[in-house]
Amino acid sequence: MSHSDFLFGHDNSATQPAEPEPVTSFQQPWKVLVIDDDESIHQITTLVLRGFSFENRPVELLHAFSGREAYAMLQQQTDIAVAIVDVVMETNHAGLDLVKAIRADLKQPQIRLILRTGQPGEAPEESVIRDYDINDYKNKTEVTAIKLKTLLYSALRSYRDICIIDSNKKGLEKIIASTVSFLECESLTEFASNILAQASHLLGLEHQQIYCCAATGDPKQHQLSLDIIAATGHDTALDKVLPEDVVEKLTKVHQLKQSYQGEDYFVGFFTTSRGLENLLYVSKDSKFDQVDHHLLSYFASNIAVAYENIRLRELIKESQRELSYILGEAVEKRSKETGSHVKRVANFSFLLAQQYGLSAYDAEKIKLASPLHDVGKIAIPDHILNKPGKHDPEEWDIMRQHAEIGYQILQKSQNEILQQGAIIAYEHHERWDGNGYPRGLKGEDIHIAGRITALADVFDALASERCYKPAWPMPKVLQYLADEKGKQFDPMLVDILLSQVDAFIAIRDAFPDQMD
């Protein structure tokens, strides 16, 4: 009796196999590897499984005639769903050895392994199932055409479920990673860029293959008011205008107050604890599967919470900035100055810090703190502070006290911006050559924030009109800075300013003094 006589023998069961499902050509096939040293087994298996499909996907049969050949094939193709393995091939235990190698060496836990043998005495069923990581074990005499198909349905269903679980696991890992990246964002601009990058990464797409928009709506309004946080695809990133069909879908979801899943798009809806409504629209040129929808739903929730936190952080930062400006300008008003000096100093300092190589965080901190550089002048008497002429020695001693007074006012605060302001107030009149005040610090003993603000302050003071002097022409200002390089000022900072004069002049022009 040949293998083919009993492998697919007559099945007396009245139950007939279901008709093959219609196969859509664009669906990727399930790969099934037949491993047997008997060529007739391959031929009959191919004949029986002709037209077989599962979940509208056909089966692609691959063939190996030894354990070694199968091992090489599995090394190259890691997406094989099922392997039907003969036990006895080039050796009496070649199939068992291959099973061990697949799990231990190739580390392929997803593939479903079905052992079958025509010589059960070589590998007793109980010990094989106990000792080897297989999914089924059949004697060839048991396997009919119907049973083979039933076995394959079960194995493919198991493989599908394992792949879904694995895909969800990887997707959740990506979401966790994206959450960390959102928490590290320092601005809405950086956050918007992160949305596009993480959405693309989540679906395994390139930026140009995905159209993504996150938006917020005001729950107090009956009509949706969109605030576009991030967008890519078409010309949206440039003109910040959404296509009409996207607006319609977002409006529909906003009215339903729940996420919606289309075949090739997803609209996520999430409301934060503060009542902020968020919408995320993602589409691509192929169908989303259920895993995509689940991941995008979690992703939308993360975006909503992160966006709310970023907005709150921006609000706090803006409040700190405005407070610094208000305090700084209050002091300038006492000095009878005309207004925008502290804003110019803040922006000069920020540019110097960036070009010096400080981190974005440290540069921003200096920007927020530098308007407080002269806060100690609040304690200087008006007749000295606003004297139009030169101070006498006694008046000058009093005037110089503003540096230490400013430090004393700010240094007790636990707020890091005010702590930075204390350092700046204390050290922005120190000189690179050590001839400054109040402590005569020299070179890099002066904090970089103090050195930066010192240059920004003098640059603006010289180029602006004051109660005791007219504004200097810009060539004279630049010549003074060049002459004081390595004396009053950090030489590297002077080089930065002189090499980028146009950028500093642009800042000056953006914040003109408002004359009374």
Residue among 93, 32, 94, 25 nearest 60 (CA): 32
Residue 105 is given by DSSP the state: T
What separation in angstroms does the CA of 170 have from each of 166, 297, 323?
6, 15, 45
Structure tokens at 459: 């640059």
229-242 burial, b at 16+ Cβ within 10 Å, e below that, comes to bbbbbeebbeeeeb
Task: Say if CB 353 and CB 452 are below 8 A apart.
Answer: yes
| Amino acid found at 288 | F
Dist CA 195 CA 280 (whole Å): 10
Closest by alpha carbon to 215, among 230, 201, 202? 230
Element (H, E) at 448: helix 448-463
Which of the residues 249, 377, 387, 390 is marked catalytic?
Answer: 377
142: its two tokens? 């048991």
The residue count for the chain: 516
- Which of 198, 219, 194 is closest to 273 using CA atoms? 219
Neighbour order of strands in the sheet with 260-261: 230-232, 211-217, 277-283, 265-271, 260-261
- For the question of residue 147 being annotated catalytic, the response is no
φ and ψ at 260, to 5 degrees?
Answer: -135, 140
Residues forming the active site = 377
